Every structure is written in structure tokens, then in C-alpha cells.
Chains A and B, each alone.
Chain A
């Protein structure tokens, strides 16, 4: 029989800061946000109340669900594109590049984060405008001009600006840890290159790849800058809807409803992804 568990003061001391941090800067604000979603706005002033009117108003409006599904779709598309575009670069860095080259490449991939994301986004104006660099180049071969700004394409480019370097770094780090002798063995046993990727590299990198995709999705799903400045705010994503809701009539409670719906979605996606990432293959032991 074991006696009552003693409180480990030493362990608690080290755990306390992070617990306090989460309580003060995450749990507290989230609870406050949930509370204000039940408040009402009267004469542009938020008043304490417990009414479901904001939830009812937002969740029964077609424009909310249009924004919701559009945001879900375009963030998923962006994460998929980021993962696909990042893969060849990450593959080359993980398996072909020397250690020195890989270090430099990772450093260069980090450099964009030294600059403000807003500045990086605005720089696309020069490239994507109808009178911009890309259309001028396409013009030389008799193509275009194409409309790239203020479109879904512009939004995706903005999302990739944010997520692609991260996807390459995460994929590179993940694949760099794959045992290369397994790949060589597969090739020696006659496995084709694509089959090697599919049957050896991807299963062994599954966790890192899912985490990378999840990060790409989370960043795109909550991003305001790309859809607003490169997408022309059409159609509005959920972050734009939050801005519109607060801007007109100062409806912070309704904006809170949108924000909570975003958080619920992100939690659902994140938990599902993590469950998939760490799911054991059938038949494996422990």
C-alpha cells in the first residue's frame, strides 16, 4: 500500500511559471473572450449581459459560413501547396546537400523572418501588379497580362510567403533524421525513387510532415495580411470578417463569436493532426 502522494516542491517550482503564464496569457483571455461573446453593444458601448443574440446573429448569417468555408478551404490549399513545393527543396537539402550547404540554406530560409511580414507582403505588389515584373516578363513571350493581385492567387502567394520557409525548414530537419541506410537498402533491393519516397521516407517522416502541414495551416487560417492586401479582401476570410465586425458598429461580442469559432476549428484540426501523427501502424507493438 502506498501512502498519500507528497507534493514535489522542486518539480512544482519549475512547473509553476509556465502554468502561471498559460493561466494569465491564454486561459484568462480565452475565458474573457467567451464571456464577451454574450455581451451586447448599446450605443457603440459594450455592456455586460448574458445573451445569445451574437451567437444567433452570426451563426445564422450566410456571409459568416461563406467566410468560414472559404477560409478553411484556402488555408488547406495553401498548406498543401506549401508542403508540395517545399518537398523537393527539403529533399535536396536533407539527402544531397553537404552539412555546410544545409546550414547555410537553413540560415537563408530564416532570413526572411528578420523582415516584417507586412513589408514582405507589400513587396509582392511590385512583382504581381499588372504593370509589375512578372507580367512584364510574361509579356516578352507574348503572354498576359494576368491578374494576380486582388485574387485567390494573390492570397495564396501571401500565405506561401509566410509558410513556405517554415515548411522547408521543418521538412529538411525531419528528413535529415531519416536513416539513410534504409533508403540505400531500398534502392539496392530495386525500389524505384518515387516508391522509395512513398514507402520509406514519408512513413519515417510522417510526424514531422504532419506538424509542418499543421503549422502552415494554422498560420494561413489566422492570417489577415495576405487576404486583405494581396487578395483584395474578396472573399473575406474570417480574420477580415473580425475586422469588419469591429469596424462597423464596434461589435466586439460578434467578433468574439468569430474568433471562438476559429479557435474551435484550429483545436479540432490540431488534435486530429497530432493524433494522426502519433498513431501507431496496425500490428505494431507499443
Chain B
């Protein structure tokens, strides 16, 4: 008779322990969440911008977590936003030329220019960048830029040959010229080769036809059309000896690894891509996003952008460039971000050799894309 109650008490004790223990274990995530309350920031950007080398320090300092969605090409970005409910993306990294369309479609919030270091810009153009402003209202903050020209393997092309887009037609490069598979930069370069200069995007019918003819004449030289990864591979394994439609943003990464590649701005001129931050319409984390943009515009953020693992870009603020020269002189020298160096990005702009990337003015993007498909099939 004495054993039964003992057994019951033991069973009860075991059940209690299991119940309490199980309950505690299940509630742990909620407890830890209550302590940590990490805020997620949804980012729409080109590849690499939401990686730890760019956002890690900010995440740690502010207890936030970036959730990136990557795209390739401005029209791809616009489409992703168009198909998402308002407020889906808190921060949008846009190519400069697409900000106007973001604004026209009411996808982005206005910014307060006083929040950002406009008095420290390396070039006056950056303070009032085309399309970033609507009257006196700022809609996008320029973060970085990069120049597109002739990218080549230094064992297959001399610097002199690469100093003109004509270099792509070098007979020895037959089947060795690759394209980054996006019509805008490649056709822009063909437009520059045709001598359209600052009017490279504003083509009459005759000029557009001439650009198509020039591009078609390059087809026999072309060995492939590549995405981001394929472009890296093609240049790295020597399958492609020259690449049209890219610049230091690709070759810079390979150069850091010791590959014999380089990018130059040819005599016909080069194209500048510009990347800018916008705050997504309806974002409930606009203040946090503003802090992040301020951080990326600080000297420290600018250095992170210049050193970005996925692909480099040049600083747009004086303080950012000064800090880069101080903490990473090798990268500053490699990317010519030292005053007085040949091909220094700001000097190139001042010399009129750089044209900001834009969208076709007299044709539609669809026309350009259709031609691009024809070209690939030729």
C-alpha cells in the first residue's frame, strides 16, 4: 500500500518536469525574440548590396537584418516593384537613369536633402544628378558610380588597341569578344563608337539604324552573351579576351585576384553607371532606412562601397575618397581614385569623356530589346 502513492507522485513529478521543460523549450524563441526584436529591412538592389561586407556593420549596430532581393537591369527592377504591393521594399538601390520612372510611378518617397552630405560631393553633377530631383525635391541619393568602356585581357590586347571601341573588331579576337547580356550598355557603346558623343541615347531614326548596323558588324567577333557570373567566368578562364558592356565593376574584382584584365575609357568616350538609394513608398521603416543611407554616405560607408566584394564603385564624396586613400591606398590606386592619376573618374567627367547612362530617348526600350534579340540570333 505504501508503494502506490509513491509511484503516482513520481509519475506526476516526471510529467510536470516534462511539461514545464517542454513549455520552456518551446517558449525560448519567443523569449529571445522579445529580447532581441530584430527589424527586417527589405532591400531591392543589384547583387552584392545586401551582403555582410556592405550591411553587416550597420545590422550589428542597429539590430536590423537586411533581406535583399537582387535584380539585374533597371527594367527588371521596375517590373519587380510593379508586381509587388506598396511597402514591400523599404530601400531600393536604383540605377540613376531609372529613378525618374520610379518617381513617375509613385514608387518612392521624397527625401530631405538636408539629411545628406551634398556639400561634400566630388563633382557638382552629383549634387543635382539628372532625374534624382523633381524641382527642389530630392527623391534619390547618389551612392556610387562606375565607368564602362573597353574591358580586355591584357595578354590579348594592348592598351593602345583598347583605347578605341575599334579594338573589339581586332581580327585576332574573333569569337573572343563577349557581351554582358543587357542591351543598354552595349548599344550605348556602339552609339559612342558611331560618334554620337553626348547624344548617344538621343538617336534619330538614321542614327539608330547606323547603331544597329555597327552592332551587327561586330556579331562575327562575338563568342557569347553572359550574365553576371558568366561574364566573370568568361574573362577569368580566358574564353573571352574582350568584353563589351562592362567596365571596372567586373574587371576590378578579377584584377584584385591577380587576373590580367583591365578596363579603360576609350577615346570615343565611356558610360557612367550611377547607383542611388531610394526609400520605398509606404515603407514603415523609413527612419531606419534614412539612417542606413546616411551611414553609407559617411566616409566609412563610402569606403565599404568602394571595396564592395561583389563589384567595386567609386566614392562620390570627398571625405569618402580621402578615407579610402588612407585605409586602402592599394584599392584607391587600382581604381584611379587619386587626384592627378590617369583615368581618375572625376577628371574623366570634367574632360567630357564620360556620359551618364540613360534610356533611349527617341525609341522605346522595347525597340532596343527587340534589336538585341535579333542581334543575338544573327
**Do A and B form a real pair?**
yes
Main secondary structure of the interface of B (DSSP, over half): helix
Cα(A131)–Cα(B223), bound, Å: 16
Cα(A249)–Cα(B224), bound, Å: 22
B83 at interface by CB-CB < 8 Å: yes
Cα(A153)–Cα(B78), bound, Å: 37
Query: Whole-angstrom distance from the CB of B80 to the nearest CB of chain A?
Result: 8
Chain A residue contacts of B73, Cβ below 8 A: 247-248
A249 in contact with B369 given A45-B83, A229-B230 (CB within 8 Å):
yes
Over the window 220-240 of chain A, the binary record of Cβ atoms lying under 8 Å from chain B Cβ atoms (1 yes, 0 no) is: 000000001101111110000
8 Å CB interface, A239-254 against B: 241, 244, 247-251
B239 at interface by CB-CB < 8 Å: yes
Chain A residue contacts of B377, Cβ below 8 A: 62-63, 66-67, 70, 235-236
Cα(A63)–Cα(B378), bound, Å: 8
Over the window 30-49 of chain A, the binary record of Cβ atoms lying under 8 Å from chain B Cβ atoms (1 yes, 0 no) is: 00000000000001111000
A244 & B369 in contact (Cβ 8 Å cutoff): yes
A95 at interface by CB-CB < 8 Å: no
Chain B residue contacts of A67, Cβ below 8 A: 377
Of the candidates A132, A232, A251, the one whose C-beta lies within 8 Å of that of B223 is: A232
Interface size bucket, A side? 20 to 34
Chain B residue contacts of A228, Cβ below 8 A: 227, 230
Cα(A253)–Cα(B239), bound, Å: 35
Of the candidates A44, A63, A149, A251, the one whose C-beta lies within 8 Å of that of B78 is: A44
Cα(A61)–Cα(B175), bound, Å: 26
B1 at interface by CB-CB < 8 Å: no
Main secondary structure of the interface of A (DSSP, over half): loop
B82 at interface by CB-CB < 8 Å: yes
A131 in contact with B237 given A232-B225, A233-B181 (CB within 8 Å):
yes
Query: Whole-angstrom distance from the CB of B7 to the nearest CB of chain A?
Result: 50
Cα(A232)–Cα(B227), bound, Å: 10
- Closest residue of chain A to B368, judged by CB? A248
Chain B residue contacts of A229, Cβ below 8 A: 230
Cα(A143)–Cα(B87), bound, Å: 60
Over the window 135-165 of chain A, the binary record of Cβ atoms lying under 8 Å from chain B Cβ atoms (1 yes, 0 no) is: 0000000000001011000000000000000
- Closest residue of chain A to B77, judged by CB? A44
Chain A residue contacts of B224, Cβ below 8 A: 150, 231-234
Over the window 80-123 of chain A, the binary record of Cβ atoms lying under 8 Å from chain B Cβ atoms (1 yes, 0 no) is: 00000000000000000000000000000000000000000000
- Closest residue of chain A to B375, judged by CB? A63
B373 & A241 in contact (Cβ 8 Å cutoff): yes
A201 at interface by CB-CB < 8 Å: no
A249 & B366 in contact (Cβ 8 Å cutoff): yes
Over the window 68-85 of chain B, the binary record of Cβ atoms lying under 8 Å from chain A Cβ atoms (1 yes, 0 no) is: 000011011011011100
Query: Whole-angstrom distance from the CB of B280 to the nearest CB of chain A?
Result: 15
Over the window 317-333 of chain B, the binary record of Cβ atoms lying under 8 Å from chain A Cβ atoms (1 yes, 0 no) is: 00000000000000000
Chain A residue contacts of B181, Cβ below 8 A: 233, 244
Over the window 217-228 of chain B, the binary record of Cβ atoms lying under 8 Å from chain A Cβ atoms (1 yes, 0 no) is: 000001111110
A215 at interface by CB-CB < 8 Å: no
- Closest residue of chain B to A244, judged by CB? B373
Cα(A235)–Cα(B234), bound, Å: 17
Of the candidates B238, B365, B374, the one whose C-beta lies within 8 Å of that of A248 is: B365
B374 & A62 in contact (Cβ 8 Å cutoff): yes
B65 at interface by CB-CB < 8 Å: no
Query: Whole-angstrom distance from the CB of B258 to the nearest CB of chain A?
Result: 15
Cα(A250)–Cα(B183), bound, Å: 14
Of the candidates A63, A66, A233, A236, the one whose C-beta lies within 8 Å of that of B226 is: A233
A210 at interface by CB-CB < 8 Å: no
Cα(A244)–Cα(B227), bound, Å: 11
A250 & B239 in contact (Cβ 8 Å cutoff): no
A249 in contact with B226 given A130-B237, A150-B239, A234-B376 (CB within 8 Å):
no
- Closest residue of chain B to A67, judged by CB? B377
Chain A residue contacts of B373, Cβ below 8 A: 61, 63, 236, 241, 244
B369 & A44 in contact (Cβ 8 Å cutoff): no
A129 at interface by CB-CB < 8 Å: yes
Chain B residue contacts of A241, Cβ below 8 A: 373
A61 & B370 in contact (Cβ 8 Å cutoff): yes
A125 at interface by CB-CB < 8 Å: yes
A129 & B79 in contact (Cβ 8 Å cutoff): no
Cα(A46)–Cα(B175), bound, Å: 38
8 Å CB interface, A68-88 against B: 70
Cα(A228)–Cα(B233), bound, Å: 13
Chain A residue contacts of B222, Cβ below 8 A: 234
- Closest residue of chain A to B364, judged by CB? A249
Chain A residue contacts of B370, Cβ below 8 A: 61, 63
Most chain B C-beta atoms within 10 Å of own C-beta, residue among A62, A149, A249, A250: A249
B105 at interface by CB-CB < 8 Å: yes
A247 in contact with B239 given A45-B83, A234-B224, A235-B376 (CB within 8 Å):
no
Cα(A236)–Cα(B225), bound, Å: 9
8 Å CB interface, B182-236 against A: 183, 222-227, 230, 233-234
B376 & A236 in contact (Cβ 8 Å cutoff): yes
B105 & A249 in contact (Cβ 8 Å cutoff): no
For the A-B complex with A44-B81, A61-B373 known, give 18 more contacts whose Cβ atoms are closer than 8 Å.
A44-B78, A63-B376, A130-B239, A132-B237, A150-B224, A229-B230, A231-B224, A232-B224, A232-B230, A233-B224, A233-B376, A234-B222, A247-B75, A248-B73, A248-B183, A248-B365, A249-B365, A250-B75
Can you name 25 A-B pairs with beta carbons within 8 Å?
A: A43-B82, A62-B377, A63-B373, A63-B374, A63-B377, A67-B377, A129-B237, A129-B238, A130-B238, A147-B223, A150-B234, A228-B227, A231-B224, A233-B181, A235-B377, A236-B225, A236-B373, A236-B376, A244-B373, A244-B376, A247-B73, A248-B183, A248-B365, A248-B372, A251-B366
Closest 8 CB pairs of A and B: A232-B224, A250-B79, A150-B224, A66-B377, A233-B225, A248-B369, A44-B82, A45-B82
